[in-house]
Amino acid sequence: MNILNKKIGIIGGGQLGKMMILEAKRLNIYTVTLDSSHDCPSGSISDELIVADFHNEKAIGELADKVDVITYEFEHINAEALAKLEKAGHVIYPSVSSLALIQDKFSQKTKLRENGVKVPDFERISSLDDLYKYAAKNGYPIMLKSCKDGYDGKGNYLIGAESDIENGFNMLGKRDLMVEEFINFDMELSVIATRGIDGKKVIYPIAHNVHADSILDTTTVCSESFGDMQASVYDIAEKTMEIFDGIGTFCVEMFISKNTVYVNEVAPRPHNSGHYTIEGCRVNQFENHIRAILGLPLGDTRLLHGAVIMRNLLGQSDGEACADGVEQAYNTPGVNVHIYGKPQSKKGRKMGHYTVTGDTLEQAREKDEKTKNIVRIIGL
């Protein structure tokens, strides 16, 4: 295969798209990005940038005409427009059928449950009365979710008592809702996996995730096993890839509660919790995604260090973005800082991340404790 003439189109120019491009560029592959902002993170390194809304069918068609294969960095995009392009012969990975199922949480969970994957109990909600009935039957707490367009806790509402029901229903827009059993989990895990066009798969080490205010705070990966749960977690990740016929890199998020594994969500793309793979693994999640959608053999996912910790860097204040403390952080060996290039900092916005590596988990934690109060993204 001569890949030198290949062109990749990426819908979304955020940090995930930027990291895909960085891997594509090592193979000198031409990239075209579609994003709604001219100053998106990918804008400075993409060969072409189409500035348009993610649901703009004409712009998506323009992107398709310029490239050999289309991929995407997030799932809240125009699946109907992509389906027309796929039908017309354009190559899109992950497939539009995968995208359409996954971008609707209700259809995603239904597909998983139909195929024997354990998920929290859930029901579609069409009215306020439906929600009252579910709560009366199942008790509290329960989780109300928008079926589409939710991320980082947006589109979720925890209902702790009957007095919360009406407010949650009104806050999430009263339509396209589902309600879900609340899992009081012991641990939240994710597994990054990549599947090639030929069906071959590679699976990354299990990641332990900790969230703060519904946004991923840290991901920790180490060579220590997860005991009796490890085989089950890997089996579920592999089965999920098969269920959605995934091509490219996917993330399967899971809850562990009382030795039971529940799938929480599936993302048909590289994922924030997989950023540790950039410094932590021989071939990272973005490189394997590029390899997969081009039909290249997939790479080695083994951990290179005893332990890796990834910590998100959120905006501390609003204003023009400024990264502070990088020089001081780099005085510690095994620290790598990633600044995404978003021009405006907003409080709570993902502006970058850093990873620390160590021979042991204790060593990595010591480096993380030293670094977490040094590097900051502030608005001027």
Do 156 and 200 share a domain, yes or no? no
| Cα→Cα distances 124→56, 128, 146, 238, Å | 29, 11, 10, 27
Note whether residue 304 is domain-resident: yes
Query: Both 127 and 22 in a single domain?
Result: no
Q: Is residue 303 part of a domain?
A: yes
Query: 57 in a domain, yes or no?
Result: yes
With respect to residue 281, please indicate whether it lies within any of the assigned structural domains.
yes
Pairing of strands 260-267, 248-257: antiparallel
Show which of 48, 71, 92 is a domain's final residue.
92
Question: What predicted TM-score, i.e. pTM, was given to this entire model?
Answer: 0.94
Beta bridge partners of 26: none
Give the separation between CA 253 and CA 230, rounded to whole angstroms. 14
105 found inside a domain: no
Domain residue limits at 29: 3-92
Q: What is the DSSP string of 305-326?
A: SSEEEEEEEEBSSSEEEEEESH
- Quick one: tokens of 293? 């959608």
Verify that 132 and 214 share a domain, yes or no: no
- Alpha-carbon span 379 to 3, nearest angstrom: 41
- Based on the fold, state whether residues 250 and 369 are members of the same structural domain: yes
Contact status, residue 21 vs residue 9, Cβ threshold 8 Å = no
How many whole angstroms separate alpha carbon 266 and alpha carbon 256?
16
Structure tokens at 61: 């068609």
Per-residue pLDDT of the chain (380 residues; tens, 9 = 90+): 676 789 999 999 999 999 999 999 999 999 999 999 999 999 999 999 999 999 999 999 999 999 999 999 999 899 999 999 999 999 999 999 999 999 999 999 999 999 999 999 999 998 999 999 999 999 999 999 999 876 766 788 999 999 999 998 998 876 789 999 999 999 999 999 999 999 999 999 999 999 998 899 999 999 877 777 889 999 999 999 999 988 999 999 999 999 899 999 999 999 999 999 999 999 999 999 999 999 999 999 999 999 999 999 999 999 999 999 999 999 999 999 999 999 999 999 999 999 999 999 999 999 999 999 999 999 88
Q: Is residue 103 part of a domain?
A: no
Distance CA 328, CA 371 (A): 9
> Among residues 92, 111, 139, which one ends one of the domains?
92
- Report the CATH number that the domain containing residue 31 is assigned in CATH: 3.40.50.20
Report the amino acid identity of residue 285: Q
Between CA 22 and CA 354, with CA 374 as vertex, the angle to 5 degrees is: 25
Instruction: Please count the structural domains in the chain.
Output: 3
Is there a domain that residue 69 lies in? yes
Nearest to 301 by CA among 188, 194, 189: 194
Residue 238 lies in a domain: yes
